[in-house]
C-alpha cells in the first residue's frame, strides 16, 4: 500500500498536497541525530505526532476508569473511609497509586498535561501552515486528470478559452476559490473544515485553562439555616468552607439572605410513597452590603445567583424547637435544634447542648446534654419501630434522653454539634434507676428527676442547607465548549476539495473538456458535486456531434496504475 501511495503522490504532483494540515506520520524507527538537541528535537517531534496524540488520548480514557470504580476523596470522603476499612489489603496499594484521588493524581495529571502540550505543539505549526494555505492559490492541475477519484470528459465545439472562462465563472459563483493556470482552471473549496478543526482544538485548550483556573480561584462552602434565620456571605458564617489555592477572602461577593420558609412535599401513595416531589426554599435576599430585600424561591435546579455566586439548595431536615427550664422554673434555653436525617423518611438524630445559664437543683452551675431522636411520622406506639414512616410531618415524635455535667466544649477540641461527648457527664435516671427517656409530641414536656427542671418539645421548624459556590471562569469554559461544538461540526461536516477543469483543442480541432475532483478519502459527495458542475458547464459548452470519449478508457501509458491515493 505504501508503495502505491508514493507513486500516486508523485503522479499527482502538488495537486494533492496540503488538502489538510494534518502532520505527516513519521516512522517511529527514524533514529534521532545524536546530541542533546537532537534528542530533544526527536522527543518533541514524537510528542507532537498524531500517533502519540492517539496513545495519550487512549491513556486518558483508560486512566479515568479507576476513578469511577473506586470511591474518590473529591466526591465522598466518607465512602473512601468505609472502603479503606473494608479493604485493608488493597487500600495501602491504592493509596500509593493515588487511586483515591485519581483526577488530581500525578499520573493522571501527567497524561493530560502531556496531551495538551502535544496539542499546543500540534496547533501552532498547523495554524501557521493553514494561514499560508489561505494566502496561496489552489495548485495547478495534475498532468493526467484521469487518475483522480472523480473524473469526467466530453468534446465540445466551444473554444477552449471560452470553456475555461465559463468554468471560472461557474466555480466562482459556487464560492470555489478559483484561478486559471495554463490550459486548466484550478479551484478549491471548504477551507472552513480546517478552520473548524483548529477552532475545536484551540477551544479544548481554552476549556482546560478555564477549568484549571476555576479550580485555583473557586470557593465553595455549606451553610445550614433554620427557618427564620439568615446568612451573610463572609467566611466566618460558613459551616464548612473550601477554596482554591489562589482564592482570597475579599473575593467573596457581599450579599445576604434569610430563609423564610421551606416547603417539601412527598408522594402520598403508591409504590413510590415518600419520594420527594418538591423542595422549595423561600428566601429574602439583598445584594451588596445593604441592598433592597428581594424575594426568591430556591429549588433544586434553580439556584439563587448573585454576582456570579450561586446559592444551591442542598438538603433539608427538621429542627425541633426545644426549651429547657431549670429547677426554679426559669427558662434557660430555647432554640430550634437542627437534626441530621439518617434515612429517606427523615428519621433524624442529633444533640441538644445547654451550655450555660443552667443551675442544678442544688444551685450549682452545670451543663446539660440531650440525645435527640426524631421522626416526622411515627408508626404508633407498640408498632415496634421508632423509625419514621414518611418524610412529611404527619405525626412527629421526639425521643430524648439526658445527661448533666460537663459537655467538654472547653477542652479546645472541635466538637461535632450533632453528637454528645458524654465522657464527663452523668445520665439522668428515673425513679427506678433506669435511664430517663421519653417520647414527646409537640407541646409535651419531660420532667427531669429530683427537681432538676424540665425539657419541652415546643414545635418543629424545618431547616435547609445551602451550598454557596463561586466558580470563576465558568463563562470561559462554556464559551470554549460552544466553540468546540461549532468547530467540530465544521471539521466533520465540511469537505475540503479541489476541482480542475482542463480544456484543450484535440488533434481533430474539437475542444476536449476534462473535469476532475479530489477530496479527502471519506467524501461521498465529490462525484455528485463534480456531476453538478459538469452539467452547469455543459450547458455553456454542449457536447459536439461525433464520437464521445469514454471517460472509462484511460489515455496514456500508465493506464494500469491504481488511481487517487492522495488523501491528505
Partner 1 sequence: MNLAAATNENLAHISNTLIYSSMAVYTLAFFAHIAEWVFGSRSKVGRTAAALNGQSAGAAVKVRVAQKAGNTAMLERPTVVTRSAAGTRDVPDGPGAAGGTFKGDLWGRIAVSLTVVAFAVEAGGVVARALSVQRAPWGNMYEFSITFSTVAVGAYLILLALRKNVRWIGLLLVTTVLLDLGIATTTLYTDSDQLVPALHSYWLWIHVSTAIICGAVFYLGAVGTLLYLFRDSYENKLAGGGTPGKFATSVLERLPAAKTLDTFAYRINAAVFPLWTFTIIAGAIWAGDAWGRYWGWDPKEVWSFITWVAYACYLHARATAGWKGRKAAYLALIAFGCWLFNYYGVNIFVTGKHSYAGV
Binding span for partner 1 by CB under 8 A among 38-46, 273-281, 284-292, 425-433: 273-281
5 near partner 1 (CB under 8 A): yes
Neighbours of 466 (CB within 10 A): 25
Shortest reach from residue 128's CB to ligand HEM, in Å: 13
**Which one among 45, 50, 174, 359 touches ligand HEM, defined by CB under 6 A?**
50
Report CA 549 to chain centroid distance, whole Å: 59
**Which one among 18, 46, 50, 504 touches partner 1, defined by CB under 8 A?**
50
Per-position x/- string for 438-467, each x denoting binding to partner 1 as judged by CB under 8 A, each - no binding: -----------------------------x
Closest CA to 465 of 227, 224, 108, 229: 224
Rg (CA), the chain: 39
Shortest reach from residue 72's CB to partner 1, in Å: 6
**Which one among 118, 347, 348, 388 touches ligand HEM, defined by CB under 6 A?**
118
Binding span for ligand HEM by CB under 6 A among 115-123, 322-330, 406-414, 499-507: 115-123
Say how far apart CA 225 and CA 375 lie, in whole Å: 20
Say how far apart CA 214 and CA 249 lie, in whole Å: 16
- Strands (DSSP E) contained in 386-542 are 397-405, 425-427, 437-440, 445-447, 454-470, 497-505, 511-519
**Which one among 19, 53, 397, 455 touches partner 1, defined by CB under 8 A?**
53
385-409: b (≥16 Cβ within 10 Å) or e = eeebbbbbeeebbbbbbbbbbebbe
User: Is residue 267 within 8 Å of 277, Cβ to Cβ?
Assistant: yes
57 near ligand HEM (CB under 6 A): yes
Question: Which option in ligand HEM, partner 1, none does residue 118 bind, with CB closer than 5 to 8 A by kind?
Answer: ligand HEM
Residue nearest to ligand HEM (CB): 122
414 near partner 1 (CB under 8 A): no
Say how far apart CA 60 and CA 110 lie, in whole Å: 10
Shortest reach from residue 150's CB to partner 1, in Å: 5
Query: Cell 450579599 belongs to which residue?
Result: 255
- Site for ligand HEM, residues 470 to 499, rule: CB under 6 A: 488, 491-492
Say how far apart CA 355 and CA 226 lie, in whole Å: 20
133 near ligand HEM (CB under 6 A): no
User: Is residue 24 within 8 Å of 568, Cβ to Cβ?
Assistant: yes
Nearer to ligand HEM, 119 or 503 (CB): 119
53 near ligand HEM (CB under 6 A): yes
Nearer to ligand HEM, 65 or 492 (CB): 492
**Which residues touch 63 (CB under 8 Å, ≥6 apart)?**
102, 107, 108, 111
Question: Which option in partner 1, ligand HEM, none does residue 77 bind, with CB closer than 5 to 8 A by kind?
Answer: none
Per-position x/- string for 217-256, each x denoting binding to partner 1 as judged by CB under 8 A, each - no binding: ---x------------------------------------
3-state secondary structure of 153: strand
Nearer to partner 1, 266 or 378 (CB): 266
**Which one among 11, 48, 176, 203 touches ligand HEM, defined by CB under 6 A?**
48
User: In Å, what is the CA distance from 462 to each residue of 256, 342, 458?
Assistant: 20, 15, 13
Neighbours of 55 (CB within 10 A): 15
Shortest reach from residue 53's CB to ligand HEM, in Å: 4
Rounded to 5°, the CA angle 540-545-551 comes to 80
Say how far apart CA 275 and CA 268 lie, in whole Å: 8
**Which residues touch 30 (CB under 8 Å, ≥6 apart)?**
none
Shortest reach from residue 165's CB to partner 1, in Å: 19
39 near partner 1 (CB under 8 A): no
Q: Name the grid cell of 515.
A: 473535469
567 near partner 1 (CB under 8 A): yes
Say how far apart CA 177 and CA 253 lie, in whole Å: 53
20 near ligand HEM (CB under 6 A): yes
- Site for ligand HEM, residues 193 to 232, rule: CB under 6 A: 197, 201, 204
Closest CA to 399 of 414, 385, 409: 385
- Site for ligand HEM, residues 256 to 315, rule: CB under 6 A: none
Question: Which option in ligand HEM, partner 1, none does residue 300 bind, with CB closer than 5 to 8 A by kind?
Answer: partner 1
Number of residues that bind ligand HEM (CB under 6 A): 16
Nearer to partner 1, 222 or 327 (CB): 222
**Which one among 12, 15, 115, 167 touches ligand HEM, defined by CB under 6 A?**
115
**Which one among 19, 21, 67, 345 touches partner 1, defined by CB under 8 A?**
67
Shortest reach from residue 190's CB to ligand HEM, in Å: 11
User: In Å, what is the CA distance from 3 to each residue of 139, 211, 214?
Assistant: 24, 46, 51
**Which residues touch 492 (CB under 8 Å, ≥6 apart)?**
196
Residue numbers at the binding site for ligand HEM (CB under 6 A): 20, 22, 48, 50, 53, 57, 115, 118-119, 122, 197, 201, 204, 488, 491-492
Amino acid at each position: 500500500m505504501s508503495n502505491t501511495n508514493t507513486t500516486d503522490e508523485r503522479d499527482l504532483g502538488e495537486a494533492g498536497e496540503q488538502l489538510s494540515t494534518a502532520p505527516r506520520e513519521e516512522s517511529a524507527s527514524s533514529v534521532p541525530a545524536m546530541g542533546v538537541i537532537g534528542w530533544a528535537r526527536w522527543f518533541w517531534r514524537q510528542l507532537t505526532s498524531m500517533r502519540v496524540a492517539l496513545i495519550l488520548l487512549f491513556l486518558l480514557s483508560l486512566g479515568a476508569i479507576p476513578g469511577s470504580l473506586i470511591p474518590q476523596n473529591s466526591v465522598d470522603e466518607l465512602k473512601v473511609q468505609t472502603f479503606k476499612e473494608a479493604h485493608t489489603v488493597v487500600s495501602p496499594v491504592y493509596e500509593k497509586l493515588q487511586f483515591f484521588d485519581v483526577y488530581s493524581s500525578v499520573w493522571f495529571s501527567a497524561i493530560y498535561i502531556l496531551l495538551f502540550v502535544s496539542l499546543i505543539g500540534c496547533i501552532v505549526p498547523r495554524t501557521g501552515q493553514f494561514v499560508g494555505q489561505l494566502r496561496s492559490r489552489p495548485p495547478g492541475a495534475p498532468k493526467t486528470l484521469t487518475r483522480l477519484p472523480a473524473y469526467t470528459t466530453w468534446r465540445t465545439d466551444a473554444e477552449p478559452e471560452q470553456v475555461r472562462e465559463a468554468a471560472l465563472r461557474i466555480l466562482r459563483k459556487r464560492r470555489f476559490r478559483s484561478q486559471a493556470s495554463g490550459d486548466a482552471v484550478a479551484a478549491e473549496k471548504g477551507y472552513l473544515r480546517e478552520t473548524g478543526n483548529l477552532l475545536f482544538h484551540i477551544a479544548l485548550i481554552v476549556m482546560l485553562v478555564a477549568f484549571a483556573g476555576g479550580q485555583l480561584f473557586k470557593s465553595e462552602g455549606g451553610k445550614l439555616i433554620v427557618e427564620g434565620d439568615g446568612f451573610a456571605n463572609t467566611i466566618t458564617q460558613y459551616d464548612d468552607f473550601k477554596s482554591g489555592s489562589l482564592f482570597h477572602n475579599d473575593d467573596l461577593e457581599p450579599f445576604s439572605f434569610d430563609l423564610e420558609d421551606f416547603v417539601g412535599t412527598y408522594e402520598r401513595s403508591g409504590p413510590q410513597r415518600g419520594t420527594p416531589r418538591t423542595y422549595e426554599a423561600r428566601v429574602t435576599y439583598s445584594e451588596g452590603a445593604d441592598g433592597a430585600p428581594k424575594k426568591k424561591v430556591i429549588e433544586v435546579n434553580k439556584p439563587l445567583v448573585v454576582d456570579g455566586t450561586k446559592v444551591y439548595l442542598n438538603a433539608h431536615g427538621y429542627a425541633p424547637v426545644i426549651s429547657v427550664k431549670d429547677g426554679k422554673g426559669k427558662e434557660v434555653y430555647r432554640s430550634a435544634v437542627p437534626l441530621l436525617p439518617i434515612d429517606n423518611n427523615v428519621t433524624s438524630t442529633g444533640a441538644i447542648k445547654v451550655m450555660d445559664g443552667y443551675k442544678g437543683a442544688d444551685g450549682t452551675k452545670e451543663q446539660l446534654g440531650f440525645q435527640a431522636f426524631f421522626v416526622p411520622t411515627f408508626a404508633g406506639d407498640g408498632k415496634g419501630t421508632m423509625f419514621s414512616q414518611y418524610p412529611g410531618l404527619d405525626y412527629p415524635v421526639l425521643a430524648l434522653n439526658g445527661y448533666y455535667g460537663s459537655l467538654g466544649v472547653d477542652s479546645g477540641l472541635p466538637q461535632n454539634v450533632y453528637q454528645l461527648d458524654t465522657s464527663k457527664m452523668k445520665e439522668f435516671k428515673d425513679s427506678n434507676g433506669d435511664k430517663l427517656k421519653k417520647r414527646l409530641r409537640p407541646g409535651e414536656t419531660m420532667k427531669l428527676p429530683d427537681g432538676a427542671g424540665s425539657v419541652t418539645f415546643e414545635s418543629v421548624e424545618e431547616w435547609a442547607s445551602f451550598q454557596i459556590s463561586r466558580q470563576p471562569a465558568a463563562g470561559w469554559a462554556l464559551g470554549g465548549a460552544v466553540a468546540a461544538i461549532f468547530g467540530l461540526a465544521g471539521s466533520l461536516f465540511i469537505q475540503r476539495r479541489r476541482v480542475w477543469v482542463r480544456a484543450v483543442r484535440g488533434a481533430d480541432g474539437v475542444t476536449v473538456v476534462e473535469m476532475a475532483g479530489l477530496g479527502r478519502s471519506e467524501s461521498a459527495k465529490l462525484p455528485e458535486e463534480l456531476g453538478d458542475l459538469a452539467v452547469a458547464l455543459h450547458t455553456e459548452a454542449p457536447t459536439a456531434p461525433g464520437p464521445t470519449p469514454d471517460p472509462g478508457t484511460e489515455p496514456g501509458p500508465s493506464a494500469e496504475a491504481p488511481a487517487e491515493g492522495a488523501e491528505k
